[in-house]
């Protein structure tokens, strides 16, 4: 059975696991990301050591990596590092893994990977086109059409959180979970560190009316952004991810009501809006899908070259 090491690298933690070519994960775990504390070199040693440790005990066919930031998917270079990855711009993990560990490797942006994971094995299965939105510290997006990511001219397609959508501030500054928590903390007179999305939703469930209004306002801001995406790209399906989406029973009715106000019936009726089905595994599974697809393309290109050479002879 083929085995692949999959990594989903976030600012605070690195999730990892072994997977087979059908996307079945095992040996899953996570460890703290050391980059903020110890710097880039220590972080790279951490990643190389993690992958290398699997090579000692398993015959691993490749490394599939998902991480935050703007990634050149063709080369693996980090062209713009996320804020919680200081000093990583310009680093190429594909080259490092290939040279140090002699292992095929592909790297993709974390939201792009999550979109691919949902398309392959999550709530995006069967969709010809889908737009995946992750709402958390910020807001990220990715567009998948016919099983392929649409990267854009300079690999920044889907960065919906940076769009201002008629406001003076980017969408993610007003509608991310971080923004919601800051507003809720001011409203309740507490420190933001004492709240998170789950706690806030529980307070709403227990009858906190001011927080209920605030949550409704935020969900309506989500609907405004979703509507803009639907009008621009007309995806068959929109997938919503991020930790707060585990509160689907509370959020889904609010979102449905807001979308009715923001979308024309002809668009609303033809667009499926679903909550992510893979949870925290989406990035790992999507990184694997990306790896398998790119390795297949590489083999196909090689076969075409050999065929052309043979024909010319």
pLDDT value of position 155: 85
- Given this chain, do its domains 4-113+280-308 and 125-277 carry the same CATH topology? yes
Domain extent listing, the chain: 4-113+280-308, 125-277
- pLDDT beyond 90 at 262: yes
Taking residues 224-232, report their average pLDDT: 96
Residue that is written with structure tokens 């069967």 in the block: 126
Taking alpha carbons only, the member of 126, 131, 162, 176 closest to residue 149 is 131
Q: Which CATH superfamily is domain 125-277 in?
A: ATPase, nucleotide binding domain (3.30.420.40)
Cβ atoms within 10 A of the Cβ of 196, count? 16
**Residue 282 CA, distance from chain mean position:** 7
pTM for this model (two decimals): 0.88
Using 50, 70 and 90 to split pLDDT, how confident is the model at 306? very low
pLDDT value of position 299: 56
pLDDT value of position 165: 86
184 contacts: CB under 8 Å, gap ≥ 6: 195, 200, 211, 214
pLDDT value of position 300: 54
- pLDDT beyond 80 at 16: yes
Q: Which of these ranges, 22-26, 63-67, 153-157, 235-239, has the smallest mean pLDDT?
A: 153-157
Q: Are 61 and 104 in contact (CB under 8 A)?
A: yes
Using 50, 70 and 90 to split pLDDT, how confident is the model at 298? low
43 contacts: CB under 8 Å, gap ≥ 6: 33, 34, 35, 88
- Per-residue pLDDT of 93-152, as tens digits, reads 999 999 999 999 999 999 999 999 999 999 999 999 999 999 988 899 999 999 899 988
Rounded to whole angstroms, how far apart are CA atoms 55 and 28? 15
- pLDDT beyond 90 at 305: no
pLDDT value of position 166: 83
Rounded to whole angstroms, how far apart are CA atoms 263 and 154? 30
Q: Which fold has domain 4-113+280-308?
A: Nucleotidyltransferase; domain 5 (3.30.420)
Mode of pairing for the β-strands spanning 70-71 and 62-67: unpaired
Helix 209-233 and helix 197-205, axial crossing angle in degrees, nearest 10: 120
- pLDDT beyond 60 at 160: yes
Task: Please report the DSSP string for 131-176 in residue order.
Answer: EEEEESSSEEEEEEETTEE---TTS-TT-GGG--TTSSS-HHHHHS
- pLDDT beyond 90 at 304: no
245 contacts: CB under 8 Å, gap ≥ 6: 135, 251, 275, 276
Rounded to whole angstroms, how far apart are CA atoms 254 and 218? 10
pLDDT value of position 68: 87
pLDDT value of position 191: 95
Q: Are 288 and 122 in contact (CB under 8 A)?
A: no
């Amino acid at each position: 059975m083929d085995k692949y090491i999959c990594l989903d690298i976030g600012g605070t933690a690195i999730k990892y696991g072994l997977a087979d070519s059908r996307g079945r994960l095992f040996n899953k775990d996570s460890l703290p990301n050391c980059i903020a504390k110890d710097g880039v070199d220590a972080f790279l040693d951490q990643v190389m050591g993690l992958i290398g440790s699997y090579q000692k005990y398993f015959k691993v066919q490749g490394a599939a990596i998902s991480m935050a930031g703007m990634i050149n998917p063709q080369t693996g270079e980090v062209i713009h590092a996320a804020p919680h990855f200081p000093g990583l711009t310009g680093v190429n993990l594909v080259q490092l893994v290939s040279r140090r560990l002699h292992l095929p490797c592909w790297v993709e942006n974390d939201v792009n990977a999550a979109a691919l994971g949902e398309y392959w094995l999550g709530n995006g299965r069967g969709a010809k086109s889908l737009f995946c939105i992750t709402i958390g510290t910020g807001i990220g997006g990715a567009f998948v059409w016919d099983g392929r990511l649409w990267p854009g001219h300079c690999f920044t397609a889907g960065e919906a959180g940076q769009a201002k959508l008629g406001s003076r501030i980017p969408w993610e500054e007003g509608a991310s979970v971080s923004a919601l928590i800051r507003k809720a903390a001011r409203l309740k007179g507490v420190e933001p560190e004492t709240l998170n999305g789950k706690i806030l939703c529980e307070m709403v469930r227990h009858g906190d009316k001011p927080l209920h209004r605030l949550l409704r306002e935020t969900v309506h801001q989500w609907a405004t952004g979703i509507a803009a995406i639907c009008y621009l790209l007309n995806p068959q399906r929109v997938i919503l991810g991020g930790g707060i989406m585990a509160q689907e029973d509370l959020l889904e009715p609010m979102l449905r009501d807001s979308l009715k106000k923001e979308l024309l019936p002809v668009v609303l009726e033809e667009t499926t809006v679903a909550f992510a089905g893979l949870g925290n595994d989406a990035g790992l599974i999507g990184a694997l899908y990306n790896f398998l697809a790119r390795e297949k393309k590489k083999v196909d290109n090689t076969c075409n070259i050999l065929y052309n050479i043979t024909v010319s002879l």
